[in-house]
Amino acid sequence: MSTIIVWFRQDLRLLDNPALVAAARDGQRIVATYIHDDAAAGDWAPGSACRWWLHRSLQSLQTQIQELGGALTFRRGDTASVLKQLCQECGAQSVYCSRRYEPWAAAQESALYAELKNSTLSLKRYPGTLLHEPGSVLTQGGDPFKVFSPFWRACLRNPVSEPIAVPKLSFHKPLESDALEDWDLLPTNPNWASHWTDLWSPGEAGAAQQLDVFLSGAAAQYASNRDLPAVSGTSKLSPHIHFGELSPRTIWSYCERQTAIGESDNTSLAKFQAELGWREFSYHLLHFFPHIPETSFKANFNDFPWLHDEARIEAWQKGQTGYPIVDAGMRELWHTGHMHNRVRMVAASFLCKHLLTHWRVGEDWFWDTLVDADLASNGCSWQWVAGSGADAAPYFRIFNPVTQGEKFDKQGEYVRSWVPEIAGLPDKYLHKPWEAPAPVLEEANIVLGEHYPEPIVDHKQARQGALDAYGTIRVSQ
Ligand code: FAD
């Protein structure tokens, strides 16, 4: 019986944490630690919105561990050096952690495993962030799936393990620790996230509460409401899941129980579970095709004639494109760190297809601004929208931002809440203000180009431009 270091990473929880359970079983004392090592992640170090979340989530985990009589040690620097130093300080021989699948993190794990093995130390890795480990769900030929539906059918044939309870924990006496505040994860000057504590409750307790709110409310109507951005029809669990405050196995088990006792419409819960399936699919793809966040999955897209118009990109980022549903989404993102999935698809499509901007530009912007920015889900989703990904939306299917708005925000509540300058327009023109006759604009106190922009591109022309651009690469597909 010995001291074991539990290296928390993207598993900021105590419930259903196999690494923690194994450490409690194998050791006498635990040293719980989190290491801030941006250099290891390189370009994929957390963006600004995720840094805000990370700070709050670590604070929450620290409090949980303190309440159990322990301490969460914060250290900054090269992970391998910090872990070896910690082992020396507390006499630990082993480090336990949950696996991560981002290419940089997987490489870090392998290097660390080899380095510690060469000394008297060891690294033990446990599953914890997915329903099924990459490699455990393959085609009959033993290959990774590249299409979602058969992947998900195969997943559904595999049992999901039940979540594991929080073990009885004994902690090593506190070691020297950085102060979280010194890591500068929170924005200052300006503090653009000052209102986010009213919107979000990072941490395991907040995640459990959010799951409860969803399962006892919106879950029942998820299938019919999930596409309506004005309705609170989705779970808003994505940042909690991303930071590992809630394991997908725990969510799964609650869904299965709810289905078994007939508390929710099965179609809705099955649809919700399938969305978790898209997350799984993204992670499995990332594991087998680690270049996904950086290069197009379909090689012919490497020759796509992308444009890079800074002024138009900035208009998109600021929600000033003149297309209300796109602008509403981009402003929701900036203001809350989140954007509704339907609107993510429309706004992303607008950037890639109407503005012919490389999907990586959008991926980077989302990386910095989303509280749920996730290398696997973000990279795969952007490639899905752009048409360059595995099982992607066909390139020629180009979202029309007007009809998307009219279909999914019929009464315009969503657009009116994020684009208040056009709130006075009647529903008929809300998603296409440029078609409103002069007296209607006047009545609504709107001068286009002054209070709200004229559309930065014409939909029909942009659509044709996108199809023409696609035509130049289609032959090689
Ligand atoms: P719910 O509808 O309640 O879904 C439940 C959970 O399933 C989500 O919390 C999430 O973990 C997962 N999920 C749902 N849809 C998807 C999907 N299409 N792909 C992968 N997982 C999914 N999701 C992220 O978690 N991080 C990202 O960085 C991210 N970037 C995206 C970028 C683009 C361009 C698009 C179109 C989608 C992106 N998504 C991303 C997927 C999706 O938009 C969000 O997961 C969802 O909006 C989160 O809200 P929710 O928790 O209320 O979702």
pLDDT tens for residues 137-180? 999 999 999 999 999 999 999 999 999 999 999 999 999 999 99
Residue 265's pLDDT band (cuts 50, 70, 90): low
Residue nearest to atom 36 of ligand 1 (CA): 345
Residue 260's pLDDT band (cuts 50, 70, 90): confident
Question: Which residues fall within 8 angstroms of residue 438, CB to CB, at 6 or more apart?
Answer: none
| pLDDT one-digit tens code per residue, 463-472 | 999 999 999 9
Nearest to 287 by CA among 98, 11, 103: 103
- Average pLDDT (445-466) is 97
CA distances from 80 to 35, 84, 86, 470 (A): 10, 6, 10, 46
Cα 375 to middle of ligand 1, angstroms: 12
475 has a pLDDT exceeding 70: no
How many whole angstroms separate alpha carbon 460 and alpha carbon 350?
Answer: 12
Residue nearest to atom 45 of ligand 1 (CA): 238
For residue 238, the ligand 1 atom closest to its alpha carbon is 9
Give strand pairing partners of 36: 76
For residue 372, the ligand 1 atom closest to its alpha carbon is 26
477 has a pLDDT exceeding 50: no
Q: Answer yes or no: are the C-beta atoms of 18 and 127 closer than 8 Å.
A: yes
Residue 341 known to be catalytic: yes
- Average pLDDT (369-398) is 94
pLDDT at res. 24: 97
DSSP state for residue 277 in the 8-state scheme: H
Would residue 322 be called left, alpha or beta, if left means φ above 0 and alpha means ψ between -120 and 50 degrees? left
> How confident is the prediction for the chain on average, in pLDDT?
96
| pLDDT one-digit tens code per residue, 388-433 | 999 888 888 899 999 999 999 999 999 999 999 999 999 999 999 9
Q: Answer yes or no: are the C-beta atoms of 238 and 194 closer than 8 Å.
A: no
293 has a pLDDT exceeding 80: yes
Question: Which residues fall within 8 angstroms of residue 369, CB to CB, at 6 or more apart?
Answer: 47, 48, 49, 333, 334, 337
Residue 9's pLDDT band (cuts 50, 70, 90): very high
Cα 88 to middle of ligand 1, angstroms: 41
Catalytic residue (one of 89, 115, 256, 275): 275
| pLDDT one-digit tens code per residue, 187-237 | 998 999 999 999 999 999 999 999 999 999 999 999 999 999 999 999 999
* Residues flanking ligand 1, CB < 6 Å: 226, 234-238, 241-242, 275-276, 278-279, 282, 341, 344-345, 348, 366, 370, 372-374, 377-378, 381-382, 385
For residue 276, the ligand 1 atom closest to its alpha carbon is 7
Residue 245 known to be catalytic: no
Residue 278 known to be catalytic: yes
Cα 324 to middle of ligand 1, angstroms: 22
